[in-house]
Amino acid sequence: METIDRLKEAMVEGDEAGCAELAAELVAGGADLKASIAVLAAEMEEVGRRFETMDIFLPEVLLAADGMAAVMKVFAPELAKDATVEKKGVVVVGTARGDMHQIGKDLVALFLGIAGFEVVDLGTDVDALDFIHEAERANADVIGISSLMTTTMPGATEVLKLLRDKGVRDRFKVVVGGAPTSQEWADKIGADAWAEESSGAIDVIKELISGRA
């Protein structure tokens, strides 16, 4: 079995030590790392597809993500030497002020990371200004805000108001979402996009960033 195939298996099983060892083997052998990453990314897409259909569950996705992270840790110093490696974008995510519901936000952060985005996860109950400060600090492309309660939706509205008041609204794309939200509400508060569910949020953010480029 080829090293890359063994690496795929180790990644899906979440064998971090095995992933690191096999990734180092590829580096030492002078393998095309971008091609290797493409193979692993395709496997991760399959993991995501199986999660979407509930053939597997979040723990299995987390294992594969840990495996992928172990690989990237080995590849990163080599990739840094390659100026042709494309950066996909930076996304700041969190739940609105007062909102402790984190699973949707967690899934968005996880799958954005798997897809190669740099993710700054601010956690739950995030102050509106903290979204902006962190986006500025990370030079983010997108701010993603999740609200699972009608009483926390105004927290997302507040982020957009502050972006306008600070005169930095054009610097970031803003995606809002969560069970009680709607496209109509997103339009009303001036968000760039709305995503009802976490899986939809990934596609929306990808589109926003590619459109921006």
Task: Please report how close the Cβ of residue 15 comes to another protein at its closest, in angstroms.
Answer: 14
Our finding on whether 100 is near another protein (CB under 8 A) is: yes
Q: Which is nearer to another protein, 91 or 208 (CB)?
A: 91
Strand partners, 174: 143
Task: Please report how close the Cβ of residue 169 comes to another protein at its closest, in angstroms.
Answer: 21
> Of the candidates 8, 12, 44, 97, which one interacts with another protein according to CB under 8 A?
97
> Of the candidates 89, 144, 155, 177, which one interacts with another protein according to CB under 8 A?
155
Q: Which is nearer to another protein, 39 or 190 (CB)?
A: 190
Tokens read off for 116: 């190669």
Q: How far apart are CA 80 and CA 112, in angstroms?
A: 20
Count of residues binding another protein (CB under 8 A)?
26
Task: Please report how close the Cβ of residue 213 comes to another protein at its closest, in angstroms.
Answer: 30
Q: Which is nearer to another protein, 134 or 141 (CB)?
A: 134
Contact map string, positions 21 to 60, toward another protein, x by CB under 8 A: ------------------------------x--x--xxx-
Contact map string, positions 108 to 127, toward another protein, x by CB under 8 A: ---------------xx---
Find the part of the chain contacting another protein (CB under 8 A) among 24-32, 40-48, 137-145, 146-154: 146-154
Q: Identity (one letter) of the amino acid at 139?
A: N
Three-state secondary structure string covering the chain: CCHHHHHHHHHHHCCHHHHHHHHHHHHHCCCCHHHHHHHHHHHHHHHHHHHHCCCCCHHHHHHHHHHHHHHHHHHHHHHHCCCCCCCCCEEEEEECCCCCCCHHHHHHHHHHHHCCCEEEECCCCCCHHHHHHHHHHHCCCEEEEECCCCCCHHHHHHHHHHHHHCCCHHHCEEEEECCCCCHHHHHHHCCCEEECCHHHHHHHHHHHHHHHC
Our finding on whether 98 is near another protein (CB under 8 A) is: yes
Q: Please check whether residue 76 is in contact with residue 27, taking contact to mean a CB–CB distance below 8 angstroms.
A: no
> Of the candidates 119, 152, 163, 204, which one interacts with another protein according to CB under 8 A?
152
Q: Which residue ranges make up the site for another protein (CB under 8 A)?
A: 51, 54, 57-59, 62, 66, 97-103, 123-124, 149-155, 158, 179-180
